[in-house]
Chain A
């Protein structure tokens, strides 16, 4: 791609890319090394002569063992997974339907409805969660996964709708019309003709929604209380931050292991994700 001498390839491509990779991935290396570092080594101040930041001579799996044996980490992982999947599913259904309606159907107030859905995205969480606490009480879903499964879609739907609108707009109208001429109902045309074409878009909206739910912290902190109901971010933070004992090991182990499921999902879908976004941005 880059014409000219070899050094140009290095200056304009290899070195910057390597720079980006180091910068973006160094913290992960740091988490990894902290995970296997014995506690004793963590107490070395930055200017100590035996400060060995990038390796350790006595790797230990004690922190990982601690995480699984002494805390409910496995349960938190499971909870987070269930909550994230359910919230994503709900948001996708809503987002796809709403996106379809707003971009392909003619009905009164379509434009203003679209804007309103978007505006809900702007409402700050810090304003919402005190009143939300009321609603959660009324529904009697406090301290249960439902508290999050039902509230997460509020910040996921606007994004999904928006993304799907862009995607649907890019699909030619003729596709649907042909199906209708062949005798399909509107509903059938949507389900059997348009949705399959939109799969990459749906996938990328789904991945994005899943990541956001996996990340969420405030609602999970406030609406869940029993240790066995917590999600990974809240569980790790609330049970591993202590004064004196260096919990950096288990904390970093939790951070790493807690992001692996999402990382796997991404590695499968990253190409779809890119092409999904491509579709939506064409519109």
Chain B
């Protein structure tokens, strides 16, 4: 601490000299990040852990109860349902986002008229505030006014309306569809960036060697794209796992908890009902699962990168 003050108030020469030292420069550069993250993440995170080992309710400071809250949460049927929903939701959406995003990226990687224009346009679903676009979807899924039902009936697929958000499986399907809709542009643009780093000469060489389009994709494009893909998937998994806004707007976890996710259930218990400790425990339960997934992915990325 004393040295930092010296660095700050000392003569320009001492300051420069300090900054010449890699350690001090690193310290100086990392300082703002560490302060902000410690204050607004590490500290509240510790408080959150403390909350989960007490029995605090809103406005009532709790006593230490050990792991009793976790035990209660573990035995909670709705919690298990929410946990399963979250894993299912994350897995399915990620697969779809990756497949469709990659397809779109391959399409956009070609030369055609209006390329820049279309690239900007397809990002719209990603940049519009999620709650608001989700309200548009809610309106499209509305049991009484659904334009989708109208459309399907016009083409002659259905004569009874489809109960989009009222059926447990369909409701899950709907939130998955909206999440994929929102996520595909991000995948596509990032993968497009990855595709552009691949030198066309590699493709030409492969073509000369007699590889067809499918082989060129499998043996040239895909391996080179893998590192980017892993990074995108990593970020997407983290965000999807803790998703909140979509379900909050579309179903509030209904019908009968069929679409509750970790985050929405934690919110309902902790914030709506005021059982702060339980809410914290549910949120915390997300952490180890996420941690495992991420460790696995990070290791994989490292292996791919060093190969």
Residue positions of A touching B, CB distance < 8 A: 1-2, 13, 16-17, 20-21, 23-25, 27-28, 30-31, 34, 42, 44-47, 51, 53, 90, 93-95, 97-98, 100-102, 105-108, 110, 113, 117, 119-132, 134-135, 150-151, 153-154, 157-159, 161, 166, 185-187, 211, 214-215, 217-218, 222, 232-233, 236-237, 248, 251-252, 254-255, 258-259, 262-263, 266-267, 270-271, 273-278, 281-282
CB-CB < 8 A to A251: which residues of B?
A: 132, 135
Q: How large is the interface on B (under 10, 10 to 19, 20 to 34, 35 or more residues)?
A: 35 or more
Residue positions of B touching A, CB distance < 8 A: 16, 19-20, 22-23, 25-27, 29-30, 32-33, 36-37, 39-45, 47-48, 51, 100, 103-104, 107-108, 110-112, 116, 118-133, 135-137, 139-140, 144-147, 149-151, 153, 161, 181, 184-185, 189-190, 192-194, 196-197, 227-228, 231, 235, 238, 242, 244-245, 248, 262-263, 266-267, 270-271, 276, 279-280, 282-284, 286-287, 290-291, 294
A-B contact pairs, 9 of them (CB 8 A): A97-B33, A122-B294, A124-B283, A126-B262, A186-B20, A187-B16, A232-B132, A270-B116, A274-B189
By secondary structure, the A interface counts as helix
For the complex, give the distance between the alpha carbons of A100 and B30 in Å.
9
Known: A124-B287, A135-B44, A259-B129. A97 touches B30 (CB 8 A): yes
Q: How many A-B residue pairs have CB under 8 A?
A: 287
For the complex, give the distance between the alpha carbons of A53 and B150 in Å.
8
CB-CB < 8 A to B19: which residues of A?
A: 185-187
CB-CB < 8 A to B41: which residues of A?
A: 120, 123, 128, 154
For the complex, give the distance between the alpha carbons of A222 and B279 in Å.
16
Shortest B290–chain A CB gap in Å is 5
CB-CB < 8 A to A252: which residues of B?
A: 135-136, 139
Select A47's contact among B150, B181, B196, B242, beta carbons within 8 Å.
B150
